[in-house]
Structure 1
Amino acid sequence: MVDRKRDGKPPDGKRVRRGALSMMTRAGLAATGGGPSTNQEPEGGQGGQALAAAVGQEIRSLRLSLSMAANQLAEAARLSNGMLSKIERGSATPSFTTLVSIAAALKVPVARLFASYNQQADYSLVRAGQGIAVQRRGQRAGLSYELLGHLLSGEKYIEPYLVTLTSEAADHPGFQHTGIEFMHMLEGAMVYRYADASMELRPGDTLVFDANFVHGHERLLTPTVRFLSVVFNLRT
C-alpha cells in the first residue's frame, strides 16, 4: 500500500501557476526608487498576497544564494533599498518592469521568480514489507522487483526497487533502458556486467551508471542476491 500526500512548498520548484505573471502585472504599481510604492492588498485578495509573498521569498532566496547584499541588488535593479525590502517581505507588489530588472540583476529568467508560488511537494510512503510487486520488461524466473514508491508529479521521476535474484535466475547481462541507475548491494554476491566492464558486487557496494548501456548480472556467487535499484528519469 502506498500512502500519498501533498503538502508544503519546495524551496526550488520549477512550475509556474498559470496566470501568475498576469496577476502580478495587473496588481502591481511601479516599484522603483522614484516611483510610488504600495502596501495595499494586491488584486486577487489572499491569492494576490500569497503571490507577492512567494515572489518576495524567491527573490530573497536567489539574492542570498549569490551572496549579494540587499543594497547591491537594489542598485543593480534601480530600486531604493526600502522598496526592495518591501518586495522581499511581500508587502509591496512590483510591476512587471521591476520584476524584469530584478531578474536581470539576479541573472535568472523572470519566470524563475514565480517558481515557488503554489507549488506542492509530493511524496509517497511505503511501509516495510508493503512494496508493490511489479513485472518489468525482460523479467525472467528467479528475478523479482518490489516497487518502493514513486513521485506523483513533476518533470523528473524515480523508480526505487528492491530487487531479488535467486538461483533460478538465468545469467542476463542484457538490460538496457533510459535514465541513470543507482544500485546498492544489500545481501549476497554476484558478478555484474556494465558495458565492457565486469565486476564483483557484495553487500555495501554501490554502482551508479547510465542505463542506456547494456547491463545486468552475469553470475550469482550466492543462492540469493538482494539489492536496491533506483532509476532516475525524465517524464516524456
Structure 2
Amino acid sequence: MNALVALAALALVAAAPPRPSAHAGSCKQCHPSWTVLPKDHPPVKGTTLAACLGCHKPAADAKPDAFSARLHRAHRAPDADCTVCHTLSRGRFGLAGGKQPIGKLAEGDAPLRRAAASWAGSALLDGAHARADVSCAGCHAGELPEPGATVANDRCLACHGPADALAKATEPAVHPDRNPHHSHLGEIDCTVCHHAHAASENYCLNCHPKFEMKKLPGAER
C-alpha cells in the first residue's frame, strides 16, 4: 500500500497511543460477517487487509485509488483506532499483516496528521478529492511531502487536463480574457490559486481587485 495512502488513516486518530492492536489487521474484529462488502463482490476467504491487497493494488501514479480512499473515509469515526489496521514501530508506519512498514512518520508529525484529517472530511479541495475517491497518492505519488510542499502542474493535469482544454472550459462568457488558465503571466503553478489543505484563493485579484470572478472550489465561504 502506498505511503501517502496510509497517511489518510491518521485522520482517525486524535490521542490514541501508537501501539499495535491485539487483533491488528483483521477486518473480522469489527465485521464478524462480510455483509459490509458490495453485493457483487466475489466470495473471499481472507480476513486480513493483507489478503485484500492481493487484488486491491496500490494506487497508480497520479490516478485515483478507490479502494484505499473509500476505506479510509468509511473508517473516520471519532473513536476509531488506527492501530486496528496499522502499526507504528520505530518511526515507521505500516499495514498490520503486511510484509513491510510503509514510509517514515514521526509520532508527533502534526502537519501530516492535520492534512490527513482534512482530506477525510473538510470542505476544502482535499475533501473534494476524497469524495471523488482520490487518495493521497493520487497527488503526492509515493513520497511523504515536507510541510509546505506543493504539487507540480503535471500531476493536476493528469486528471484535469490537457491545459488547452482546461483553459477553454473555464473561459468566462463575459470578458473571456479574464481567464486564469490562459494567463498573461504565462504558465503559473496551479497551486498559486488552488490549495488542497487550505482555502483556495484567486491569485488574479491581488492585482485586479475589481474583477468579478467565479469563486473557486475550496475557497472560503
TM-score by length of 2: 0.26
Higher strand share: 1
